[in-house]
Structure 1
Amino acid sequence: MTVTSTKSARAAEWWKAQRRRVLGGVAIAVVALAIAVVVARLLRGLPAVEAFIEAYPGIVPPPEGTPVGIPAWLGWQHFLNAFFLLLIVRTGFELRSKRRPPGFWTRDNTRWPRTAGKPRRMGIFLWFHLWLDALWVLVGLTYVVLLFATGQWLRIVPTDWAVVPNAISAALQYASLDWPTENSWVVYNSLQQLAYFTVVFIASPLAILTGLRLSSIWPLEGPLVRAFPEKLARAVHYPVMLFFLAFTFVHVVLVFTTGALAKLNQMYTARDADDWLGFAVFALSVAVMAVAWVLAKPPLLKRIAAKSGRVQG
């Protein structure tokens, strides 16, 4: 058996193992969800728990001056984040599979910071992954700037410790399938607020920092290496990706089970309406992402990469 065929067999086995893990994870999640529903409904039958929910209904009134509504730029940000994250996750799995890249990109007028004197060379999936990362970071930075420039940060940054008991209350209501009443056009419930805050200000910076640590930009020696070991970065980077996947799944499920037309209009057309326009824009965005998924294959990636360097393989 040749070296190439051995690596291909290992990659195929890796993908099989990933599918088994996904199926096992889904099974565990379904069982855990069923248990959570049963426990939550039992708790809701206790007078003390109902009194807690009455005292903390799941929503903290927004601070004075909080903007009402969702601006159009936030809809574009929503689409771009979903678009880039979809492809980042795909290329991330390709990189973790350890499969031999179908091609290599080399740029002769630059040097690897970590390989003194050698031309810059990387697998085509790594090249694509890094470009996607850069574009996602650019979108994220634009989002944060606009968030604070327009006052929209008040919608997702907790400013009152009451958000904690209200988030617990909202979680109990969701788990018991007696979901909290909320109007996200005006204010997010406390659980949503904490989730969005975590995505923007904790998970995203962790993904960026650990990604930089695993890239060629990070030095091979010095205090930065000792302060942030590569092993630690790998141990954090993958779970962060799983967190994004879990968040996306829950987010989509809740959108389609808590007034889909109104939510999609808010998210994609910046309108507080119940018509089908938001759904149409959402469907179009899904179609664009599906096309990108299909087209993001080695032949096209090689042609694009060849415009900025030499491609082999």
Structure 2
Amino acid sequence: MTRTQWFKHRWFKLLWIVPAAVAALVFVVLAAQWVRDLAPVRAFLEQYPGESELPADAPVGFPAWLAWQHFLSSFFLLLIIRTGWTVRTNKRPAAHWTRQNSGVLRTRNPPTRISLDLWLHLSLDALWVLNGIVFYVLIFATGQWLRLVPIHWDVFPNALSAALQYASLNWPTEDGWVNYNSLQLLAYFTVVFIASPLAIVSGLRMSGAWPRAAARLNAIYPIRLARAVHLPVMIFFVGFIVVHVTLVLATGALRNLNHMYAARSEDSWVGFWFFAASLVVMAVAWVGLRPVVLRPIAALTGSVTRR
């Protein structure tokens, strides 16, 4: 490999990216620790400790159904990200799928051959949306939405306070079993009520289910707009997952895992083993979703042709 080729190689770029990221992280931590020592900032942190008060009738703890919803959402979202990236980067799909339909659906949207990768992506999308509908119904029926929706304006200065505490590596005092800190609240609200709907409406516009003959509707919502939204939303989800998992493990792993995987408030290892089992399931699905497995399943709803 010549010197020019080495400079263009992706590993050379990584050699610069990693030290730069570490240096930036160290700078942020030191800057946050310095800022926290300033008198006005100390007064700000005392006034806004990082948590906004919940209504008196807000539920405490996590029911078992929420633990299952959390796992299923994570499972489908992980595979959606994987298949979405595969659709974007795979130039030679191993197989293609054409749906079987008739009547009005065939007249409005004639069958179009798509890659097996895209078929899997859309199928996972449908399962994720179905799971999301169940989630929305349950959180509003049980009052869990009160823990996810900001209802006081002080959530914003409290979120800034929590961010400063995280950045300085002096974690905010919290008990997620009772109440999220304000930064968590805004992050979860964004995921549930902003990013997820954006992913759905942009994905629907790009799918074969969208009515192609609706000229006025297509002019109002052009496909280029959907494409401009869909990829950034995926990048947001990836970033959220990385930060979320990191903080879960760094701010009391056993307690946090028990909250969301065992629906209990304790420091036992029960939640960890549920979490470990979920990782095994995700890994098996990640490796196992191959054309040889997918072809007979896809053939149940359409015709599958090899490359």
Q: Same fold (TM over 0.5)?
A: yes
1:29-108 matches, cutoff 5 A: 29-108=21-100
Residues 107 and 310 in structure 1, CA contact (< 8 A), matched pair in contact too = yes
What residue number does 2:218 align with?
225
Letter in 2 for 1:228: Y
TM-superposed CA distance for 1:38, in Å, is 2.2
What residue number does 2:251 align with?
258
Q: Please give the secondary structure, in 2, of the residue aligned with 1:68.
A: coil
1:269-280 matches, cutoff 5 A: 269-280=262-273
Residues 109 and 209 in structure 2, CA contact (< 8 A), matched pair in contact too = no
What residue number does 1:184 align with?
176
Deviations 1:175-216 (A, max 9, x none): 011110001100000000000000000000000010011112
Q: Please give the secondary structure, in 1, of the residue aligned with 2:49.
A: coil
TM-superposed CA distance for 1:61, in Å, is 1.7
Q: Please give the secondary structure, in 2, of the residue aligned with 1:160.
A: coil
TM-superposed CA distance for 1:100, in Å, is 2.0
Does structure 1 residue 141 correspond to structure 2 residue 133? yes
Letter in 2 for 1:269: A
Letter in 2 for 1:258: T
Does structure 1 residue 311 correspond to structure 2 residue 301? no
1:101-250 matches, cutoff 5 A: 101-110=93-102, 118-220=110-212, 221-250=214-243
**Structure 1 stretch displaced more, 140-149 or 91-100:** 91-100
Structure 1 residues 238 and 82, CA gap change in structure 2 (3 angstroms): same
Structure 1 residues 151 and 21, CA gap change in structure 2 (3 angstroms): farther
Q: Work out which of the residue numbers 286, 298, 307 in structure 2 matches 1:293.
A: 286
Deviations 1:85-114 (A, max 9, x none): 111011101111151211011234348969
Structure 1 residues 97 and 279, CA gap change in structure 2 (3 angstroms): same
Residues 109 and 211 in structure 2, CA contact (< 8 A), matched pair in contact too = no
Q: 2: distance between equivalents of 1:144 and 1:52? A: 35
TM-superposed CA distance for 1:77, in Å, is 0.6
TM-superposed CA distance for 1:29, in Å, is 4.7
Letter in 2 for 1:80: L
Q: 2: distance between equivalents of 1:149 and 1:261? A: 29
Q: 2: distance between equivalents of 1:246 and 1:262? A: 23
**Structure 1 stretch displaced more, 99-108 or 258-267:** 99-108
Q: 1: distance between equivalents of 2:79 and 2:11? A: 18
Q: 2: distance between equivalents of 1:227 and 1:166? A: 39
Residues 108 and 120 in structure 1, CA contact (< 8 A), matched pair in contact too = no
Q: Please give the secondary structure, in 2, of the residue aligned with 1:310.
A: strand
Structure 1 residues 56 and 254, CA gap change in structure 2 (3 angstroms): same
- In structure 1, stretches of 5+ residues that fail to align are 1-15
Structure 1 residues 118 and 144, CA gap change in structure 2 (3 angstroms): closer
Structure 1 residues 158 and 121, CA gap change in structure 2 (3 angstroms): same
Q: 1: distance between equivalents of 2:201 and 2:11? A: 28
Residues 262 and 271 in structure 2, CA contact (< 8 A), matched pair in contact too = yes
Does structure 1 residue 284 correspond to structure 2 residue 277? yes
Q: 2: distance between equivalents of 1:30 and 1:115? A: 56
What residue number does 2:3 align with?
none
Letter in 2 for 1:274: D
Q: 2: distance between equivalents of 1:112 and 1:39? A: 62
**Structure 1 stretch displaced more, 20-29 or 90-99:** 20-29
Q: 2: distance between equivalents of 1:183 and 1:154? A: 16
* Superposition RMSD in Å: 2.5
Letter in 1 for 2:232: P
Q: How many residues align?
A: 298
